[in-house]
Amino acid sequence: MQKAIKRYWPIFVLPTLAAFIIGFIIPFIQGVYLAFCQFTTVRDATFNGISNFIRALSDNTFTHAFWYNCAFVVVTTIAINVGGLVVALILTKAIRGRNIFRTVFFMPNLIGGIVLGYIWQILLNCVLSLLERPLLNLDATAGFWGLVILMCWQQIGYMMIIYVAGLQSIPDTLVEAAEIDGATRWQTFWRVKLPMLMPSITICLFLTITNSFKLFDQNMALTGGQPAHQSELLAYNIYYTFYGRSGPQWRGIGQAKAVIFCAIVVVIALVQLRLTRRREVQQ
């Protein structure tokens, strides 16, 4: 087996590597280059230094979208992970219809973001109009919480599956030993299960943080950035800069924003991975 892999690795690696280079590495490098250019299509770029970055950073909607997005990431990351873990804890108990519940909680994941966005827009607008409050597109705060609700509804099920897998891989012997030693249920959870769950937590935090930063279709469908860019998350702001504005300079500015955005997400994700990895324990 080992020998076969050694001999045939090019067959397995090279096609994928080629696809990865063509589909990711080259566009990525080209994208970074374009951030320093003025261009209409990717073929007619002219270099113009860092002026795109200066204009991107001095764009109020971009800085607003950044802070709005940060708040969104904090709220959703906490809500989704706490929610997912709680549901996972409940659904790893011996209760009837456990698998049905798991399926039901997972299902929102299978619906596309745009569809979800529009469905929730209708639902939330109905609720808001019954409460005689301004509709989603008129109120950035309502838009924010609408996005949070939507995101939780969609993501909790997915994180639940990861937590369920994590919980099931904790050896019964450890939990039993803790019980025999007289640990309360809370202590068992806090001192035994949770440390054993750290690999799952690492993954889930990573997924929720990056997903929340990259959220696009739900944002576009639910609020469309209304009112007046007040409910724009970063990805949507970049899209809007790139496609929504007319004039040759905007594409480059959008590209510069995208590069800044990419750097921010990478840095935050790496910091998070390092912090949580440190807390992972060996069995």
Partner 1 sequence: MKKKLLALGLACAMGLSLLAGCGGGTGESSQPPDNSQMPASQSGGEGEAAGQVYYLNFKPEQDGQWKELAEIYTEETGIPVTVQTAASGTYETMLTSEMAKSDAPTLFQVNGPVGLNNWRDYCYDLSGSQIYGELTSDDYALKDGDSVAGIAYVIESYGIIVNETLLDEAGYTVEDIQSFEDLKAVAEDITARSAELGFAAFTSAGMDSSSDWRFKTHLANLPIYFEYLDRGITSTDAIEGTYLDNYRAMWDLYINNSTCSPAELTAKTANDSLNEFVSGQAVFYQNGSWEFANVVGEGKLSEDEVTMIPIYFGVGDEANQGLCTGSENYWCVNKNASEEDIQATLDFMYWCVTDETALQAMTGGEGAMPSGEAGMGFAIPFQQAPASANLFVQLDAEMTAEGKTPVSWNFTTMPSEEWKNMVGSALAVYAADQTDANWDSVVSAFVDNWAAEYALANG
Question: What is the phi/psi pair of residue 229, to 5°?
Answer: 70, 5
Contact pick of 58, 99, 173, 246 for partner 1 (by CB under 8 A): 246
Q: Which stretch binds partner 1 (CB under 8 A): 22-30, 100-108, 151-159, 199-207?
A: 22-30
**18 touches partner 1 by CB under 8 A:** yes
- Integer angstrom CA distances of residue 21 from 9, 28, 32, 162: 17, 9, 15, 30
Transcribe 166-219 into DSSP letters. Answer: HHHTS-HHHHHHHHHTT--HHHIIIIIIHHHTHHHHHHHHHHHHHHHHH--HHH
List the beta bridge partners of residue 46: 38
d(CA 170, CA 177): 12
Scanning 70-78, 154-162, 183-191, 242-250 for contacts with partner 1 by CB under 8 A, the matching segment is 242-250
Q: 52, 45 in Cβ contact below 8 A?
A: no
Which C-beta is closer to partner 1: that of 193 or that of 229? 229
Q: Measured from the CB of residue 213, what is the shortest distance to partner 1 in angstroms?
A: 23
DSSP SS3 for 260? helix
Nearest Cα residue to 214 out of 278, 155, 174, 127:
155
Q: How far is the CB of 30 from partner 1 (least distance, A)?
A: 6
Whose Cβ is closer to partner 1: residue 102's or residue 251's? 251
Restricted to residues 33-72, the positions that interact with partner 1 (CB under 8 A) are 33, 40-46
User: Which residues inside 90-129 make contact with partner 1, applying CB under 8 A?
Assistant: 121-122, 125, 129
Under the rule (CB under 8 A), what is the footprint of partner 1?
Answer: 7-8, 10-11, 13-15, 18-19, 22, 26-27, 30, 33, 40-46, 121-122, 125, 129, 134-138, 224, 226-228, 243-248, 251
